[in-house]
Structure 1
Amino acid sequence: MERLQKLLARAGVASRRESEKLICAGRVSVNGRVVTELGAGADPAVDAIAVDGAVLSFDEPMHYLALNKPAGYVTSRSDTHDRPTVMSLIPEQLRPFVVPVGRLDLDSEGLLLLTSDGRLTHALTHPSFGVPKTYLATVRGHVTRDGLRALTHGVELEDGPATAADARIERRAGNNCVLRIVLTEGRKREVKRMCEAIGHRVVHLRRIAFGPIEIGSLPLGRHRNLSDDEVNRLYKVTRLRRGRRA
């Protein structure tokens, strides 16, 4: 038997201190039972230890996937309204282990990362790490230079100001305009709300890059394994040190 926080750290989920926070927050379970006591222990050889519902593996290597999410799929492990989730698009044998890294809206598509590496997931999604995400947003009307400047200088949203790291016109298509927008945080519907703040409604949104990982030619609805070099680049952009199990 080992203490849970030590096991979580050994599995690469987080440091021991951060693992203690996960336990206290009720995000850790053993054999389906939520555990909030810091002194609790478990045996990884016989117990199913999970964080946010994802069972940790102490024997298998870490899994790192890139998925080209179609519209109409919920970015979640399950859905209370019985809508299809992104988990149905990956191999069944991986579903108990990996979790989506961040989220894409139901009607948005594009690059979604999934992994069993909890420590990397935290770093990729926490705004303090500033990992850039790149989107192509098709909006109604033609955006002016002043509109682009407003996006990069900051627009006021109901939950506070939001600023794009970069915003430029990719191309014009009839009465629409395709913008390339780079964000370093991931608030709910942030791209759409920022575009609405400058007077343009988003009619199509696609994420094409997450940090150094690009969607490339990956077909819609398909996934692929990240290469070892790509995983190393994710660790580099988050300034984390990659452990031997990662």
Structure 2
Amino acid sequence: MKAMRLQALLARAGVASRRQAEVLIRQGLVRVNGEVAHLGQKVGPDDLVEVAGRRVEWPRERLVLALHKPRGYTTTRSDPHARRTVFELLPEVPGLQAVGRLDRESEGLLLFTNDGELLFRLTHPRYGVKKVYRVWTERGTLPEAVCRKLVEGVALEDGPARALSCRPAQGGAILTLGEGRKREVRRMLQAVGYPVKRLLRLQVGPIRLGNLPPGRWRRLSPEEVQALLKEVGLE
């Protein structure tokens, strides 16, 4: 692998985002071959890079996986209170992290990557990566008026929330959101009087769930990875 800027290495290795990596370098916490590093410095696979005394492993090939998360699995690597976790369904890959979360009872598309900068951008609200959800509610199909209310915005305990789009679908609706706060879709539907019975995520940015069976995963194609990078300005 060719040489890269130090802050890019730290991001790819999952140490921090590029912006956070720049802060670490300015604070003098990063060393290259025993010397205090500087911003913009280029490093290669043969250089010894350390952050606060801990060696940084040269990043492996960028990997992005798509999982069809089944109901009943927790989006965590280790939790003493979780009976089953999504990582039990995936291959052992060093540095692999979930891109955002789906709560235990939710289903659908969940992405994973070993690229720290891609992970940061896909989950940061600033980049507004769209997510599409199919919901079924305890009261059935959402009326057009309720969909309009969700697009206009509803008040939640952690601030207002709005859907980018909403259209009625049999038994519920299809919603598109530009952020991913904790249980946001469920809380939004609860706020308008339509508690969620089932929630299925269909899409994250340009990546679709498609016909991937529940509990199965696949590796994204190079074209799909490029589309994700383009989505967050990392071409």
Q: Calculate the TM-score normalised by the size of structure 2.
A: 0.81
RMSD: 2.9
- SS, match of residue 76 in structure 2: coil
1:58 Cα deviation after fit? 2.0
Q: Which amino acid aligns with 2:212?
A: L
Please, which runs of 5 or more residues in structure 1 have no aligned partner? 25-36, 172-176, 242-246
Q: Which amino acid aligns with 1:168?
A: R
Deviations 1:111-156, CA, capped at 9 Å, x for gaps: 0000001111111111110110000110122422211110001011
1:41 Cα deviation after fit? 3.5
For residues 42 and 212 of structure 1, the distance between their equivalents in structure 2, rounded to whole angstroms, comes to 37
Q: 1:170 to 1:13 in 2, by over 3 A?
A: farther
1:73 Cα deviation after fit? 1.0
For residues 13 and 39 of structure 1, the distance between their equivalents in structure 2, rounded to whole angstroms, comes to 12
Deviations 1:77-124, CA, capped at 9 Å, x for gaps: 2113243211111112x1x32100000001101000000011111111
Is 1:18 matched up with 2:20? yes
2:151: which partner in 1?
152
Q: 1:16 to 1:120 in 2, by over 3 A?
A: closer
Q: 1:120 to 1:136 in 2, by over 3 A?
A: same
2:75: which partner in 1?
75
1:39: which partner in 2?
29
Q: Do 1:56 and 1:116's aligned partners in 2 also have CA atoms closer than 8 Å?
A: no
Please, which runs of 5 or more residues in structure 2 have no aligned partner? 1-5, 34-44
For residues 81 and 46 of structure 1, the distance between their equivalents in structure 2, rounded to whole angstroms, comes to 41
Q: Do 2:31 and 2:50's aligned partners in 1 also have CA atoms closer than 8 Å?
A: no
1:190 aligned to which of 184, 193, 199: 184
Q: Do 1:134 and 1:207's aligned partners in 2 also have CA atoms closer than 8 Å?
A: yes
Q: Percent identity?
A: 47
1:68 Cα deviation after fit? 0.4
Q: Which amino acid aligns with 2:99?
A: V
Q: 1:108 to 1:39 in 2, by over 3 A?
A: same
1:216: which partner in 2?
210
Q: Calculate the TM-score normalised by the size of structure 1.
A: 0.78
Q: 1:126 to 1:17 in 2, by over 3 A?
A: closer
1:123: which partner in 2?
121
1:71 Cα deviation after fit? 1.1
